[in-house]
Structure 1
């Protein structure tokens, strides 16, 4: 999915990010990532930045997510544990959550099945948080010329 932020006003972006029903994993134009992170911070959301540049495998992904999210000690570093921790976040209470997952393109190309599993877990977490009336977003910035291909 993609969110186009170029024509949006700051008020529109705040309204969108604050709405738990629209949360989920979205591909966004990389030019919009910083504005969305700043808007989320302005809403007092927890903003976690994860840089996947040179991410070598699933274990490296888990380590980067755990560091960015401040996951509790004992995080199992597997898909089930990631799903559990993203649907809890009690150690980092906030009115909403935004994960800004940058430079994911190479990791996506190298590990397409893991990437799809990762997106599924992020979307499931957003769905669960929406039931609690809490916004949960995973924003994956990509160059604008790559967005159309990602959405196909």
Structure 2
């Protein structure tokens, strides 16, 4: 197993990760080697909370009956039971810069919810990575147990 794949499969390293777009192919190969599905969430042109929640719901295949608000998203990120069985979860967020620039409060809330979800999965021994193609300094949030790399 390559070193990146080993890190993805280690529940203790669950958290929020910054990765250069040029490294996405290596990430995909590592996820495949670790046997972890990677869900892509394209935020291109996403500028506010309603659009963000809609994009995440579409990418995750969230059950239609579940709400579209922060509390519902927090619950969904700690459940993910409707997804096919896997040994862990990798959520790849691309093009998040527009959201960060236009609605930094929603971007910050998203990062906090993802950090909480990573903590939740870590305590259960399940790898969970939220990967962003943004500079690491854009991902600093209170509660992110893993320092963005």
Secondary structure at the counterpart of residue 91 of structure 1: coil
Counterpart-to-counterpart distance in 1, 2:120 and 2:65? 23
- Residue of structure 2 equivalent to 1:48: 39
- Residue of structure 1 equivalent to 2:48: 57
**Pick from 101, 115, 126: which aligns with 2:107?**
115
1:149 CA displacement: 4.7
Q: Which runs of 5+ in 1 are unaligned?
A: 1-9
RMSD of aligned residue pairs (Cα, Å): 1.7
Q: Which has the higher strand share?
A: 1
Counterpart-to-counterpart distance in 2, 1:148 and 1:64? 22
Superposed CA deviations along residues 77-103 of structure 1, whole A, max 9, x for unmatched, are 111100000100111131010011000
- Residue of structure 2 equivalent to 1:128: 120
Q: Which runs of 5+ in 2 are unaligned?
A: 141-149
Q: 1:126 to 1:70 in 2, by over 3 A?
A: same
Q: 1:11 to 1:42 in 2, by over 3 A?
A: closer
Indicate yes or no: 2:138 matched with 1:150.
Answer: yes
Is the 2:16–2:139 contact (alpha carbons within 8 Å) kept by the matching residues of 1? Answer: no
- Residue of structure 1 equivalent to 2:58: 67
Structure-2-length-normalised TM-score: 0.86
Matched positions, count: 139
- Give the stretch that moved more between structures: 28-37 or 97-106: 28-37
- Residue of structure 2 equivalent to 1:20: 11
Secondary structure at the counterpart of residue 118 of structure 1: helix
Structure-1-length-normalised TM-score: 0.84
